[in-house]
Amino acid sequence: MSYSQKEKGGTKALAPPQDSAYRRHAQDNFPDGGLRAWLVVFGGACAAFSTFGYVNSWGVFQDHYQNVLLKGTSPSTIAWIGSTQYALVFFPALISGRLFDIGYLRGPLILASINLVLCTFLIAECQKYWQFLLCQGFGVGVSCGLIFGPVMSVVAHWFKKRRSTAMGVVAFASSIGGTVLPIAFRNLNATVGFKWSMRIIAFVLMFSLGLTILTLERRLPPVVASGGLFNLKQFRSPAYSVYTAAGFVAFLGLYTVLTFIDESAPSQGVPDNISSYLVAIANAGSAVGRLASGILADRVGAINVMAPATLFAGVLTFIWPHLHGTGALVTLALLYGASSGGFAGLIGVPMISLGDSTDVGRRTGMYLTILSLGALAGPPISGAINHATGGYTAVGVYAGSSVMVAVVLLVMSRYFTLGGWKGKV
């Protein structure tokens, strides 16, 4: 039974936060299925489609702005719009996660959803760089962060044994969004123009976010805990600290291929009519990787899946600039999407188990906020390297090296969590 089902007359008398007996019972008895639990997953999936799916479509916008709307502006400068989006999807989690812990979910969700739709409508009217940065970088980014921030925590309320599978379904939807939205934008832009393309996308987001608002619901009652937004004692845990560092370093390089593959492909012998779909192809591969990794992680452990998947993504990042031809780039896009999806689809799962479930929002929020700094810096650094060298070879070395360091940190975090090398984690 969900916490909101225990409310009467707008009060929470039947399930007060101080009712320790109810809390212990609720924490020890996860539904791990059933209609209500899977409706929560569906709501989280709609949120992921509308947020990460939207943000993961950035590559087509980078290409369009660089060649049409903001022609003459450097790739690195334009990349700041996309990296700001990426970063701000994670950064507000510190606030939204804490608000979730103390009982605020639906209000912030509704306000952020309205703002996301409004900003998407406003992008259609943008003409100058600062306008795109404000609306698409900051406006879309913050809204997506406030919407998606609590999703992992909500799902964690309903699932334990099948948590990775549930998270994989949510992550799968983000890849569906990242596949459908770029293709929709390309085709709509060619037929009805940029303005109406963005307006149609805004209406799609309005519908999917409406479903999120209707179905997303917490199960456990809110908790009153000391420490405000931060619980710095959490960093005394080597497993938590090293895992957080792994997320930061990974995002310094993980989104480089997705950001620049459309732009680099023509110079690698891929026709324009194919290169413009490489981001969508990568996101289609990511959908498979996220869903499969979630199912597999329930059997063998999340980090046990994430580490080899991230290692493969790092190898592909090194290879990417040296490939030539349509077949090679399409194959790379699919494989890179699947392997990077194995990491991105599970990032919140180990975090949930590294502490008490009553503090999951704050703990996850701190992690995602630190991760956001890597997401903010990564693509512009890659863009600056590209601008300085005139190619993508050095970009691949930088991004691939970052991902490989993240793999080492994941393995270290696994060791600290288990206290050894063997086990499921």
pLDDT of amino acid 19: 53
pLDDT at 379 over 90: no
Which percentage of the chain shows pLDDT scores above 70? 90
pLDDT value of position 3? 52
The answer, yes or no, to whether residue 23 has pLDDT greater than 70, is no
Determine the pLDDT at residue 227. 61
Q: What is the mean pLDDT of residues 82-106?
A: 80
Question: Residue 39: pLDDT above 90?
Answer: yes
Mean pLDDT on 203-223: 90
Please tell me which of 33-37, 51-55, 102-106, 146-150 the model is most confident about, judged by mean pLDDT: 51-55
Least confident span in 130-144, 188-202, 249-263, 312-326: 249-263
> In the prediction, which pLDDT does 125 show?
96
Quote the percentage of the chain above a pLDDT of 90: 42
Is 70 exceeded by the pLDDT of residue 224? no
For 44, residues 6+ apart whose C-beta sits below 8 A from its C-beta are: 151, 154, 155, 170, 173, 212, 216
Distance CA 280, CA 258 (A): 9
Q: How many residues does the chain have?
A: 425
Q: What domains, with CATH codes, occur in the chain?
A: 29-220+233-418 (1.20.1250.20)
Report the mean per-residue pLDDT for the chain.
85
- Say whether pLDDT at 124 is over 60: yes
Containing H/E element for 287? helix 278-300
